[in-house]
């Protein structure tokens, strides 16, 4: 190594623009090779260290460009250094890592990660499932995980979009040619039931977060119910305009219908005393007719002929 290429720490900091504390951190984590030590307190760095620091800065910029999270996983940086930011190509590097994948391939990998996460949530729950657990179940490495999601919370957001999005698309397709209100209601429940294994898992994980006072979980739970009830509230409003449903708060009614549907599914899963069809018919009767008789309504001062 020529003397001209040797730099003290202060010179490396000045030329690279990277703080001394960050350089020490990179050295401890193995992102930088050890310097040439000439004494207990004297060490020299070279062009290799400078180029490596430039590569790390490029990785960080590429990461922050496409993601909301400001936290850059160390595994991600190490993986990028190994795969793409080699010392042989210190400049003019592209953001792509490894072999170029088509958009379809990337989409398939993303779905595989989401599906793997859903299965793990069912067994261990969101809070006890780590990124390494999800990566292993999806057949990828943790650094590869970070190419698709910045952290496990952002993954959970995408899990929600994936599950609720698929549910809403199924509903719209199934209701496209049906105009009868009763039949549309049955279709809505049927699709909810078919998707509840995934929807219910999301709701359970978020409810668990609300119990431990996780504000993020509380906010997400509200948004999930908003997505679940949105289509139903629109249906209710349309039927109000047709005079088929009495005037009332459509958002609250949609919420209670969804929670009743959840209760129906839970009751059917307890034992074989009632079939799902019996429970659905009971709930439909309750929604359409209430549970008070005319004498009961009269006793409470409600006009038996009241129709809203």
In the chain, the domains with their CATH numbers are 3-83 (1.10.1660.10), 104-148 (1.10.10.60), 150-299 (1.10.357.10)
Helix (H) or strand (E) holding 237: helix 215-241
The pLDDT assigned to 273 comes to 92
Distance (Å, rounded) from C-alpha 250 to C-alpha 237?
6
Place of tokens 């800065």: 57
Helix or strand or coil: residue 5? helix
> Do residues 119 and 202 touch, judged by C-beta distance below 8 A?
no
The pLDDT assigned to 305 comes to 59
List, for residues 214-239, the tens digit of each pLDDT value.
Answer: 999 999 999 999 999 988 999 899 98
> Do residues 41 and 56 touch, judged by C-beta distance below 8 A?
no
List, for residues 95-128, the tens digit of each pLDDT value.
Answer: 444 444 567 778 888 899 999 999 999 888 888 8
10-residue block means of pLDDT along the chain (308 residues)?
Answer: 69 86 85 83 84 82 66 73 49 46 77 92 88 91 84 90 90 88 85 90 91 91 92 90 90 93 90 87 82 83 62
Q: Minimal CA–CA distance to 251: which of 242, 243, 240?
A: 240
Distance (Å, rounded) from C-alpha 173 to C-alpha 155?
27
The pLDDT assigned to 211 comes to 92
């Amino acid at each position: 190594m020529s003397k001209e290429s040797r730099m003290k720490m202060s010179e490396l900091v000045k030329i690279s623009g990277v703080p001394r504390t960050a350089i020490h951190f990179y050295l401890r984590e193995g992102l930088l090779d050890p310097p040439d030590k000439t004494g207990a307190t004297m060490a020299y760095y070279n062009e290799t260290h400078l180029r490596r620091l430039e590569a790390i800065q490029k990785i960080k910029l590429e990461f922050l460009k496409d993601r909301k999270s400001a936290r850059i996983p160390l595994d991600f940086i190490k993986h990028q250094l190994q795969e793409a930011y080699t010392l042989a190509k210190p400049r003019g590097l592209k953001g792509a890592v490894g072999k170029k994948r088509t958009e379809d391939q990337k989409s398939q990998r993303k779905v595989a990660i989401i599906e793997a996460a859903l299965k793990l949530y069912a067994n261990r729950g969101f809070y006890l499932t780590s990124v390494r657990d999800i990566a292993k179940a999806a057949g990828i490495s943790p650094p590869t995980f970070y190419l698709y999601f910045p952290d496990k919370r952002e993954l959970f957001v995408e899990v929600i979009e994936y599950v609720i999005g698929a549910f809403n698309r199924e509903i719209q397709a199934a209701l496209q040619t049906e105009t009868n209100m009763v039949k549309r209601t049955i279709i809505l429940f049927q699709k909810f039931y078919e998707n509840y294994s995934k929807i219910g898992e999301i709701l359970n994980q978020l409810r668990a977060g609300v119990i431990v006072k996780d504000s993020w979980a509380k906010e997400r739970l509200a948004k999930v119910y908003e997505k679940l009830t949105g289509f139903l509230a629109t249906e209710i409003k349309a039927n109000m305009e047709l005079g088929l449903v009495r005037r009332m708060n459509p958002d609250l009614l949609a919420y209670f219908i969804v929670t009743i549907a959840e209760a129906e599914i839970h009751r059917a899963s307890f034992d074989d005393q009632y079939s799902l069809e019996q429970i659905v018919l009971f709930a439909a009767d309750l929604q359409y007719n209430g549970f008070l008789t005319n004498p009961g309504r009269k006793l409470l001062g409600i006009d038996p002929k009241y129709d809203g």
